[in-house]
């Protein structure tokens, strides 16, 4: 029996978390979804559970996405989940800052829809996608 794909949504906006979960359920049926409202909660969850994909907002109180990436990059290895930044800011500076981290494999600008979620398949690691297919 194969474990389902596990996706962590990190966003301080409850509304955006609802939207993300809705879209992910339709895009990756059967995937297990977890949510964190800032970088601190995300690190706690990542310490406790394995994930295959992280959707990461940038602008969050307490610990934002860039600060999270700075910390997470020191821990990440080849088996670590892919990270896709999902933010309402399309500014070049944010994009450059996020893409400077090797752990980041994609950058999406909100709104998050089933159409834009299709590109997530390009960013997720093959083994994660195999979980979805099974």
Partner 1 sequence: MPLTSMCDCPHTNGAKSEHRLARQRKKSRISSLAEPGEEGGGDRSESQDALSAAVELGVDTSRFLTRRYVVALSLIGLVLLGSHLYLTHQLSSSRGDAERINRSGMQRMLSQQIALRAERILHAEDPQAARTERAHLREHITLMADNAAFLNAPLLDGAYSEAVAFAYEDAGGLAQANDFLARANRIANGTASHAEIRAFADSAAQTLESSNAAVLAHQGAAETRLSTFVRIEQGLLALGLLVLLLEALFIFRPMVSLVGKTVRSLAETNTELEALAYQMPHDLRAPIASAQGLLSAVEDELEDAEVAGASSLLRMAQESMLRLDHIVSRIVEVVRVLGTGNRPPPAWVELDEVFEQAAAKVAHLRDDVDVRIKSTQLRAWVSPSYLEQAVDNLVSNAIKYADVSGGCAFVELDTVEQPTEFLLRVRDNGIGIPKTQRAKLFGMFKRFHPNVASGNGLGLYLARQSARALGGDIFYSACEPGSLFELHVPKAAPDTRPTEHAAAQLGSLS
Contact residues for partner 1, defined by CB under 8 A: 12-13, 15-16, 18-19, 22-23, 26, 37, 59, 61-62, 87-89, 91, 93, 109-115
Q: What span, in angstroms and rounded, lies between the C-alpha atoms of 114 and 74?
A: 32
Q: Which two tokens stand for residue 120?
A: 């997530």
CB-wise, 48 or 93, nearer to partner 1?
Answer: 93
Q: Using the structure block, give the residue that is written with the tokens 């959707």.
A: 55
Q: Smallest distance from the beta carbon of 80 to partner 1, in angstroms?
A: 27
Q: Using the structure block, give the residue that is written with the tokens 């821990």.
A: 75
Please name which of 118, 15, 114, 3 lies closest in space to residue 57, comparing C-alpha atoms.
15
Q: Smallest distance from the beta carbon of 18 to partner 1, in angstroms?
A: 7
Q: Smallest distance from the beta carbon of 113 to partner 1, in angstroms?
A: 4
Please name which of 72, 71, 75, 70 lies closest in space to residue 54, comparing C-alpha atoms.
72
CB-wise, 80 or 88, nearer to partner 1?
Answer: 88
Q: Smallest distance from the beta carbon of 105 to partner 1, in angstroms?
A: 21
């Amino acid at each position: 029996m194969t474990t389902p794909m596990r996706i962590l949504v990190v966003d301080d906006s409850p509304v955006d978390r609802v939207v993300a979960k809705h879209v992910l359920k339709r895009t990756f049926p059967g995937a297990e979804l977890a949510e964190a409202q800032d970088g601190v909660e995300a690190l706690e969850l990542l310490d406790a559970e394995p994930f295959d994909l992280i959707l990461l907002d940038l602008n969050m109180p307490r610990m934002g996405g860039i600060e999270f990436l700075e910390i997470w990059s020191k821990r990440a290895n080849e088996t670590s989940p892919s990270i896709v930044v999902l933010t309402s800011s399309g500014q070049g500076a944010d994009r450059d800052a996020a893409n400077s981290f090797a752990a980041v494999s994609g950058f999406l600008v909100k709104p998050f829809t089933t159409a834009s979620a299709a590109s997530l398949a390009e960013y997720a690691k093959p083994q994660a996608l195999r979980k979805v297919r099974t």
